[in-house]
Amino acid sequence: MENMDKKYTCYCGLYCENCAVKKKIGPASEVLYNEMKKAGFEDIIKFIPDSGGFWPFLKNMAENGICISCREGGGNPACAVRICASGRSGAKEENAGMCAFCEDYPCEKFKPFFEGYPVLKNDNDVLRNEGWDAWSKMQNERMAKGFTY
C-alpha cells in the first residue's frame, strides 16, 4: 500500500485523504486564520456580536487539521455504519471492521452512502475482490488527479 495512510480509511470504504473537507476546507481554514490573525482579528473578534465560538473553531481547524477518520475517532459518532463496524470483534485487525469484508455487506446502512458517494460501491468491490493494494492504487491515482468526494 504505497503512500497509503490507513488511519484515513473509513469503515464504509471512503478514504479521508480524498475528502473535500480535508483537501479543500482544511487548507482554506489555514489561509483564513492566518489572514485574519495578520489583520488583528485575534484581539477584536470578541467585540463582534455572536462570534464567540468562531475564532477558537477556526484556530483549531487551522492548527490541528479538520478531522481524522472514523476508525481513528473522528467523524460522526452516530453513523450507523461506524457503530456496526466498530463493534465487530477484531475491528483493529487489517480487514476486520472494514465493511467491504463483512459477510452482510452491502447492508441497508449503505443506502444513503451509495446515494451520496456514487463511487463507493465500486471502491468496496475493488477492496473486497482485489485487496488493499488495488484499492490503495485507485485512491492514490484519484488523489493525483485532484479527485474529491
Residue 22 DSSP code: I
Residue 96 confidence (pLDDT) = 60
Confidence of residue 39 (pLDDT cuts 50, 70, 90): very high
pLDDT tens for each residue of 121-136? 999 999 999 999 999 9
For residue range 64-119, list pLDDT tens digits in order.
887 778 888 888 889 999 999 887 655 445 566 789 999 899 999 999 999 999 99
The pTM is what? 0.78
| Percent of the chain whose pLDDT exceeds 70 | 92
Handedness of CA 17, 19, 22, 25 (dihedral sign): positive
